[in-house]
Chain A
Amino acid sequence: MFYRITLKQKIVYYTLLVLLALVILFPIYYMIIISLKLPRDIYRTPSLLPINATLQNYVDLFSNEGFLINIRNSLVVASLSTFVSVFFSCLASYSLVRLKYRFRNWIGRLILFTYLTPSALLFIPLSVIIAQLQLGNKLEGLIFVYLTFAAPLSTWLLMGYFKGIPVDLEEQAMVDGATRLQAFYKILLPLAVPGLIAVSVFTFTSAWNELLYGLIFITSPSLQTVPVAISYLITGDVFRFGLIMAGSVAAAIPVMVLYYLAQRFVVQGLSAGAVKG
């Protein structure tokens, strides 16, 4: 390097980084301490410190049968839509990345377009279709509409991952007498396991976090997913912020842990704009 950084520059850099850390961490810190406070402490003795910290909000949350049902609904909807879309996209990505045929590029482009198509445009026609299919206010209907973003998302990510795996091993296996299908499931799939896990995690988290479709297509409280149930708490007139924040923390932690474990596997996909940002 021809330009060593000077001490002065170093001080500036680390000051900026610490400031950045504060900006990032403060909202998260505040969310956690509020989740540990009772209403009277939040409003009467406001403070940035966790005074009179208690787990009461979490106890209330998890002893409430409704919230457990919300978690179950979210788990069912997110896992099933992830399973279906990862299964379909696994086959499709192999086809689009490894096999040569006419219209292959057009299909690739179609998937990119559907991946970019905003749910804000689709929810109105989907509401008519769901009503016609009599899938309104049913978890099956929600799984169905979640495929609109889950399937293009997982295909887009998985295509990037498959492209990164050298084709040589599969070609070698086919020279040695394996069929294409065998090369796919005996060579490529085992190599792609980390990618498959990461793509499943991304698809699962995007379904777990989804709010708009959940609000529109589910009306019974017993069928609400976690984001919908929490958002109803906040759009009401009286906020129980402690409880809302406890629910938010509980909803965020599992997916954030998964996200951190998965993100390093799909750096390629990320740089192509794979996840909303």
Chain B
Amino acid sequence: MSQDVLAQTAALRKSRLSLKQIESLMGYLLVAPLVTCILILVVYPFIFAIWISFTNRTVGGGGDFIGLENYVYWFNQARFLETVRNTIVLVGGVQTTKLLLGLGIAVLLNQEIRFRNFWRGLILLPWAMPAFVAFITWKLLYAPQGGAFNFVLINLGLVNTHVDFLSTRELAMPSVIVALVWRGFPFWVISFLAALQNVPKELYEAAALDGANAWQRFLHVSLPGIRHVVLVVVLVSTIWTTNSFEAIYLLTQGGPSNATMTFPMLSYFSLQSLRIGEGAAVGVSMLPVFTALAFVIAMLLQRDD
């Protein structure tokens, strides 16, 4: 009798153990197709890119290992140094503007505003639009002939001749930045607004009781409450903005004379001229920054869970 019970509990324990094993097995089986897909499509090309950047590979050619030659080539090119500078100016300008606009508009929408959902939906428009459509539209707005900005400027008497926003060295970069901000800021506003709405009302009331003015309430209540979301949005968006191809390709193609050349565009041109090794080196030289950003994002998001 007691042996029966013992045998039963032993069997049960065994089956419990195997239940756990079944769970692991099932976990691996279900995740396997996706992981295989990612290993083949992202991880392998990622490592392959690093390898290619050390070779003199061309389209249709094999390519030999040449060490750091591609990197030496680029670091001695004025075009590459311009690309680094442009990318910093572009990302810095776009991200700072989006941060200020995003915070400002999110705080505005967090007030007692009527029809908040209507305004929220309106703000989403530029972002819901396909990126290529948004940038083609901005190309049209900037156009010397038929463009809206030139029409307005000339009719207001502010300029005498057509301004070629995208082909003038000084104007090209600011013009690209404005277009990127227009397309990108809605995402920031919506994320910040959602975070602001999670800040407990009592905190504001307590701060107001203590005599804090609106600016102090923003600085000491709102900002700490949404700090985490702000950080994640800034970092993720910095990766996207650094790598945005459509804006530059459609607006300026990196011109005039490299004034708006950025990493993706330079890499694209290398591929167009069939020099794969050099193109890969351009992409890989962004890797340290990308990896650092991705690590911080992973850490921040993990803390959420």
Contacts and interface: CB of A to CB of B under 8 A. Distances in A.
Interface of A: 1-3, 5, 13, 16-17, 20-21, 23-28, 30-31, 34, 42-43, 46-48, 85, 88-89, 91-92, 94-96, 99-102, 104-105, 107, 109-114, 116-129, 131, 144-145, 147-148, 151-152, 155, 180-181, 205, 208-209, 211-212, 215-216, 227, 230-231, 234-235, 239, 241, 244-245, 248-249, 251-252, 255-256, 259-260, 263, 267, 270-273, 275-277
A94 B30 contact: yes
Interface centre among B31, B204, B276, by most chain A C-beta atoms within 10 angstroms, is B31
Interface in B105-124: 105, 108, 111-113, 119, 121-124
B240 A277 contact: yes
Contact of B249 (A23, A88, A231, A259): A231
Task: Label chain B's interface by main secondary structure.
Answer: helix
Given A31-B140, A234-B250, A43 B132 contact: no
B15 interface: no
Nearest to A155: B34
A111 B57 CA distance: 30
28 contacts: A1-B205, A3-B208, A3-B214, A31-B137, A42-B146, A92-B30, A92-B35, A96-B27, A114-B42, A116-B290, A120-B263, A120-B283, A122-B42, A122-B46, A123-B271, A124-B270, A148-B45, A208-B130, A211-B132, A212-B246, A212-B264, A255-B128, A263-B128, A267-B194, A270-B194, A273-B233, A275-B187, A276-B244
B48 interface: yes
A125 B245 contact: no
Contacts of B33: 88, 91-92
A261 to B, nearest CB: 11
A34 B235 CA distance: 37
A179 B111 CA distance: 49
Given A101-B23, A120-B283, A128 B130 contact: no
Contacts of B138: 27
Please list the 8 inter-chain residue pairs (A to B) with the smallest Cβ-Cβ separation, ordered nearest first: A277-B187, A273-B236, A118-B243, A120-B264, A95-B30, A99-B27, A92-B34, A209-B130
Interface of B: 22-24, 26-31, 33-35, 37-38, 41-46, 48-49, 52, 57, 59, 105, 108, 111-113, 119, 121-134, 136-141, 143, 145-146, 148, 151-152, 182, 184, 186-188, 190-191, 194-195, 201, 204-205, 208-209, 214, 229, 232-233, 235-237, 239-240, 242-246, 249-250, 253, 263-264, 267-268, 270-271, 276, 279-280, 283-284, 286-287, 290, 293-294, 297-298, 301-302, 304
A156 B251 CA distance: 31
